[in-house]
Amino acid sequence: MRNWKFNHIDFSSYPFYSENDLGVFWSPEKTKIKIWAPIAKMVELRLYKDGISGEVYHKTNLQRLENGIWSTVLQGDYEGKFYTLKINDGEWLDETADIYARCVGVNGKRGMVFDPGKTNPEDWKNDKGPRLNDFTEAIIYETHVRDFSIAENSGIENRGKYLGFTEENTKSTNEISTGLAHLKELGITHVHLLPVSDFFTINEEKPFEKYNWGYDPQHFNALEGSYSNNPYNGAVRIKEFKKLVQVLHLAGIGVILDVVYNHTYFTKESVFNQTVPGYFYRQKTDGTFSNASGCGNEIASERAMVRKYIVDSLKYWADEFHVDGFRFDLMGILDLETIKTIRAELDKTNPGLFLYGEGWAADQSPMPEHLRAVKKIFINYPGLPDLTMTFEML
C-alpha cells in the first residue's frame, strides 16, 4: 500500500522547469503534450472519443526529457478528443487529466483537446476591460454565477448560466430590471465572480440538484461546467464565459475572479497527488498533510514548481479570458514571495489588474506566519511594492 507520509523527502531537490509550454496544445497538424512529473518511471497517455464514458481507443507512452519533463507529440488533428494520463512512480497512480488542463469534459474526468481560436466570440481581439487610476475608485459587486440569474421571475432565459450575464434589458415579472440591466443601473465598476474554475461537488449532468459556492477546486485552469449550456464539450463553456466577459466589458464593467489556490477538494486523489505525490502540498513534521485551509490540505506555494503553477495559471486567466483582477481566497496560506512574484509577473503583461484577498488562514500552518501573506505581516513587510495599489485586505 502507498505511503502518504512525506517527511523523508527533500522536495527542494526536485528539478525546476522554467518554460511556458506545459499542458496540452492543439494545432491542425499535431497535438503537443508536456507534463512535469520528476519522479515518474512511466507516463501513459490514454485517448477517448467521449469525456466520461467509452473505452480508451489509443495508448502511448510519453518520453522522459530533462528537468522532470515528459512529452509526446500526436501527429494529425485530435481536436475534440479526450485524454487522461496514468503515471507510474514505482506503482500506478490513478488516471487523471493533466494538472494544466485548460479544457475538460463533464465533471472534469478527462481533459479535452481543443482549438482555442474557436472559443473566441466575434471581435474578441478588441475586447478590453476598464482600468482605474486608484483602487479606491472601484465599486465591486460580488455575486455567484448561478445565483445571479436563477430566480424563476428573473426574465432571463439562461438562468444560472454564464450566458445569463449577457442578456440585454431583462426585467422581472413585476418590471424590475434584472441581470445585466440591473448591474448597469447600480453604477458598479467591477463584478467579482465567486469561483468559476472547475470544482467537484456539483454533478454537471444534473447541475440544479445540489448547491455549492465553488470553493472546492478540482482543475484550476478549466472552467466549471455546471454553468454552461453544454457541460459535455469543454470548449463550449470557454466560449460562453468569454462572451460573459465581453458583454460586461462593453458595459464598462470589469470582471474579477475569486481564486482558490490555497487548497484542493481532494487530497490523496487530487490531480496534483496523482502526478507528483506530496509535492504540491505542505506537510506536518510527521509527514502527513497539514490543513491551514480547514478543508483537508494546504497548497505548498513556496515550492518552486507550485509557485510557477500558480503564476502560470493566473497569467492564463488574464491573457486568455481578459479578466481584470483576482481575489484570493485564504491568501494568508500563500507565502509572501509567491504574492510578490504574482504582482510582478502580472504587471509585465497586464498592468493595473486588481489583486486583493483574505489576509488570514483558517487553521495552523507549518509555514511560519511571518513568511505568509497574513494581514499583520503583509502590511509591514519590507521590500513589497506599494500596497495601496496592490492588495486590499478584506
Residue among 349, 146, 351, 141 nearest 256 (CA): 141
Alpha-helix runs per DSSP H in the chain? 145-149, 179-186, 234-250, 304-321, 336-349, 375-378
> Catalytic residue among 98, 204, 258, 329, which?
329
Helix (H, G, I), strand (E, B) or coil at 112: strand
Catalytic position from the list 50, 358, 363, 386: 358
Q: What sign does the dihedral 247-105-119-266 (CA atoms) show?
A: positive
Task: Please state, in angstroms and rounded to a whole number, the distance separating the CA atoms of residues 310 and 259.
Answer: 10
- Decide if 205 is catalytic: no
Produce one character per residue of 104-116: b if its CB has 16 or more CB atoms within 10 Å, e if not: bbbbbbbbbbbee
Does 329 participate in catalysis according to the annotation?
Answer: yes
Residue 54: count of CB within 10 angstroms of its CB: 11
Rounded to whole angstroms, the Cα distance separating 389 from 53 reads 48
Determine the Cα–Cα distance for residues 45 and 262; give it in Å rounded to an integer. 29
In angstroms, the CA 169 to CA 287 distance is 56
Which positions are catalytic? 329, 358
